[in-house]
Chain A
Amino acid sequence: MLRYTLSRLLSLSISLAVASLVIFLVIEILPGDPAVLMLGVNAQEDTLAALRDQLGLNGSMLTRYVDWVGGMLVGDFGTSYTYRTPVADMVGDRLWVSLPLAIYALTLSTVIAFPAGIWAASRRGSAADVGVMGITQLGVAIPNFWFAMLMVVVFAVNLRWFSAGGFPGWDEGFWVSIKALTLPAVALALPQASILARVMRSALVDTLSEDFVRTARAKGLTRSQALWRHALRNALIPVLTIIGMQFAFLLAGGIIIENVFFLPGLGRLIFQAISARDLIVVESVVMLLVFAVVMVNFMVEIAYALVDPRLRRR
């Protein structure tokens, strides 16, 4: 298990190194000069040169890459070209919205999907199964922003249970913030829960037809005992994979929902940074997201090994 963990950690570091290089190079070859963008096209050449120098754009590519990576390792993500504030602070603020939102949505999605998937699989072919499959089909098909707007109309405008958008900040109190994140989290969770429930169901249906489930039944276990004690843990591997992918998506991909609810999250930050050619912010946020995805994958792989003893020896 230790060797497995170490080898996963090694592959994690390699992924991060390669990703940082790719991100840096892609940003590097993109056309557009941040100095020109900041000062306007009519700026004097010597002013531009001075700004480039100030932003550290004149060094060789290698020194700039090393500076960038070295800075990130000690928490210095550089200074935003447009806002002139440290990127780390900007990202930090946004992360405190996006991360809780992603965790909230993922928790909702899992809490909905597991019982639904297990219920449908254990009553395969019944009305319950058909019902769950039909609803999840709908959940996958409905665009989440449309569903978000619908919820705003119902719960914010008509019932006035929630505010229609915005985020008060954690200083205003835990429950106030959670309440503000509830509608966005539900909107994000709905399609994810539908996908996860379908994966859960099909993985469990496959596992239930395995020989060892029949062996368990021959020992005298009831249908549901065989499901809970033997089939479920074996069905978890594909489910864990999907959960890992969903978390990564929720962290970065909430941009439309963030816009619908006026949330100051990472998605909106990266969107604004790209429009403003604030490349240092783009680089840092993308790198951060890569880091998050790689970390989540690492955790998923550790979870695989906890579920399946055959993987521990690798």
Chain B
Amino acid sequence: MSLLRIEKLSLDIGRHHILRDVSLSVDPGQIVGVIGESGSGKSMTAFTVMQLLPEGAQASGRVILSGHDMLSLPEAALCDLRGNEVGMVFQEPMTALNPIRTIGDQVAETILIHERVSKSEAMARAREALNRVELPEDRFPLSRYPHELSGGQRQRVVIAMAIALRPKLLIADEPTTALDVTTQAQILDLLKRLVREDGMGMLMISHDLAVVADMADEIVIMQNGVVVERGPCPGIFGALKHPYSISLLAASTHAPDRAVHVEEAPLLRVRDVRRTYRLPRKTLFGPAGEVEAVKGVSFDLKKGESLGLVGESGCGKSTLTRAILGLEEVQGGEILLDGEPVFTGHKPNRDVRRRMQVVFQDPYGSFNPRHRVDRLICEPFHLLDTPPTGADRDRAIAEALTSVGLSEADRYKYIHEFSGGQRQRIAIARALIIKPDLILLDEAVSALDVQVRAQILDLLADLSKRFGLSYLFISHDLSVVRVITDRCLVMKSGEIVEQGPTDQVFANPQHPYTQQLIAAAPDLPEIA
């Protein structure tokens, strides 16, 4: 008998149809992966099982969890099941823990809520749970607070909370999306081990086909609240039938068609760049400590080239990006664009600044919501000595919008009227409008669904062809860097540990860190 059986589940929130006739089941010891893009209803399916739905949600159909009809149980009975029969792990480890209570307290709470045990016994069992998720006592005593842990460690604490009572079902909602690739691999290994040890069933929700393909026994693909395809993993990848799943798989491995025209002359020269930050003083009058975020980095970016910069969070890649953009002064070395320094004296060099632009990760946070699109994309004009006005300005706006695949009429709209992918197009239009030579793409496609990501990558390839643009592509996502760059740099702890043509680096990584990164990246199974 199935551990979890969802039959013909439909869900409406207000007047919005969220789910329609969703059916799936999870057996004990089985891992079922649910895949879909944002808005496909995959997370809402999980929240329906937990019965933690937003107010005004109306569910119909049947959700049976180890014999309990979740849709008709009273709240008190549901509270008994949550954390006891079913545990849940969330996407954002940074905010999933209460910042003002110790990790021991929070793990023990799961036990105290469900069982009549003493506080000290609950703490002892919390210790056990933390040991199981590989947070040993000597480094992670129960008295630690969440802010003293990294994202991966916090996710382990969340997992410890979810499995403390050895539930029959574990629901993981994008458990590794916010984590670096090596941390992701460790968390996935941990989840697999726990499922095996406890014989748990697991519902694994992700937008990333590769992550799920690595561990699931069965895969369910969702689109717009409907299950479009299901099948055993990895067999399903060779036998996809629904057009949506086929295009999803294609998009995951999509390589844009790039015509490379690289000139030998370097456009950007970075030489021995060092960037240090001062730490807060330890004592009142003692010397302030320093931390070196970028330790003597050198590389060239040639005209027309697309260069990748790969590394995990905290490796210094964002600091380096800011230094190249002239947003911050460096403490050593030089950065030249076409022979001109980015920083002259203690001021950014405007002549250089206007030749490079940046596109950031967050398509939601990087626009002023009160400005119209035309004003937003004209922002870089302040770098020009004589910004275009009147008809010239209109022409520039129209050109920028149409070259990123939007229409001229979009200039009168506000940013909230656009989807994430469209916003990223607007961000690219904003970068293009002053006709730069170099665009820095700082995790520019990381927040996008795979299909939208594929479209943006195509757009970038096309723009590079048409305008002879060079890109510096900064990302932690190896699969993206692999398809969009000619050469790539691997950065670790403020240093570049490996560089070379992208194909070569991926096929034959030399540095142990690069090898580790590539091994950790989840792969889709090879299909004919």
Contacts and interface: CB of A to CB of B under 8 A. Distances in A.
Contacts of A230: 98, 101
Contacts of B96: 211-212, 214-215
Given A214-B90, A310-B147, A219 B113 contact: yes
Contacts of A216: 98, 109
B97 interface: yes
Nearest to A220: B83
Nearest to A223: B75
Interface in B255-280: 280
B99 A218 contact: no
Contacts of A211: 90, 92, 95-96
A217 interface: yes
B52 A218 contact: yes
Interface centre among A216, A219, A233, A309 (most CB of B within 10 A): A219
Given A215-B161, A219-B83, A229 B100 contact: no
Contacts of A308: 99-100
Contacts of B145: 309-310
B109 A218 contact: no
A222 B76 CA distance: 8
B153 interface: no
A234 interface: yes
Given A220-B80, A221-B79, A215 B100 contact: no
Given A215-B158, A218-B52, A229-B109, A307 B100 contact: yes
A93 interface: no
A53 interface: no
B176 interface: no
B98 A218 contact: no
Q: Which of B55, B80, B81, B110 has the most CB of A within 10 A?
A: B110
A192 to B, nearest CB: 26
A10 B283 CA distance: 13
A221 B158 CA distance: 15
A212 B154 CA distance: 12
A36 B327 CA distance: 62
B82 A219 contact: yes
A210 interface: yes
A218 B100 contact: no
B110 A233 contact: no
B114 interface: yes
Interface string B40-83: 00000000001010010000000000000000000110011111
A218 B92 contact: no
Contacts of A314: 280
B147 A218 contact: no
B87 A218 contact: yes
Interface in B107-165: 109-110, 113-114, 145, 147, 158, 161-162
B88 interface: yes
B109 A219 contact: yes
B357 interface: no
B502 interface: no
Interface in A7-49: 7, 10
A229 B100 CA distance: 11
Interface residues of B, number: 33
B83 A214 contact: no
A234 B147 CA distance: 14
Given A211-B90, A220-B110, A310 B84 contact: no
Interface residues of A, number: 26
Interface string A212-247: 101111111111010001100110000000000000
Given A233-B100, A310-B99, A218 B75 contact: no
A214 B97 contact: no
Contacts of B158: 215
A215 B97 contact: yes
Given A211-B92, A309-B145, A310-B147, A218 B97 contact: no
Query: Among the interface residues A125, A221, A314, which one has the most CB atoms of the partner chain B within 10 A?
Result: A221
B200 to A, nearest CB: 15
Contacts of B83: 218-220
A215 B52 contact: no
A210 B80 CA distance: 22
Most chain A CB neighbours (cut-off 10 Å) among B55, B81, B100: B100
A210 B95 contact: yes
A234 B98 contact: yes
A215 B52 CA distance: 10
B284 to A, nearest CB: 8
Contacts of A212: 95-99
B105 to A, nearest CB: 10
Contact of B100 (A125, A223, A234): A234
A220 B79 contact: yes
Nearest to B98: A212
Contacts of A307: 100
A219 B161 contact: yes
Query: In this complex, which of A211, A214, A308 has the most chain B Cβ atoms within 10 angstroms of its Cβ?
Result: A211
A225 B83 CA distance: 14
A219 B110 contact: yes
Given A309-B100, A309-B145, A218 B82 contact: yes
A220 B161 contact: no
A201 to B, nearest CB: 17
Nearest to B92: A211
A7 B92 CA distance: 34
Residue from A7, A215, A234, A308 with most neighbouring chain B CB atoms (10 Å): A215
A220 B82 contact: yes
Contacts of A210: 95
B97 to A, nearest CB: 6
A125 B54 CA distance: 13
A274 B100 CA distance: 47
Nearest to A212: B98
Interface string A70-93: 000000000000000000000000
Max chain B C-beta neighbours (<10 A), residue from A218, A223, A233: A218
A217 B147 contact: no
Contacts of A309: 99-100, 145, 147
Nearest to B158: A215
Contact of A218 (B80, B88, B284): B88
Q: Which of B76, B79, B81, B114 has the most CB of A within 10 A?
A: B79
Contacts of A220: 79-84, 110, 113-114
Contacts of B84: 220
B52 A217 contact: yes
Nearest to A221: B113
Contacts of A234: 98-100
A216 B88 CA distance: 10
Interface of A: 7, 10, 125, 210-212, 214-223, 225, 229-230, 233-234, 307-310, 314
13 contacts: A210-B95, A211-B96, A212-B98, A212-B99, A215-B98, A216-B109, A217-B82, A219-B161, A220-B84, A220-B114, A221-B79, A221-B109, A229-B109
Please list the 4 inter-chain residue pairs (A to B) with the smallest Cβ-Cβ separation, ordered nearest first.
A220-B83, A219-B83, A211-B95, A220-B82
Given A10-B284, A220-B110, 6 more contacts: A211-B95, A212-B99, A217-B82, A218-B82, A219-B113, A220-B83
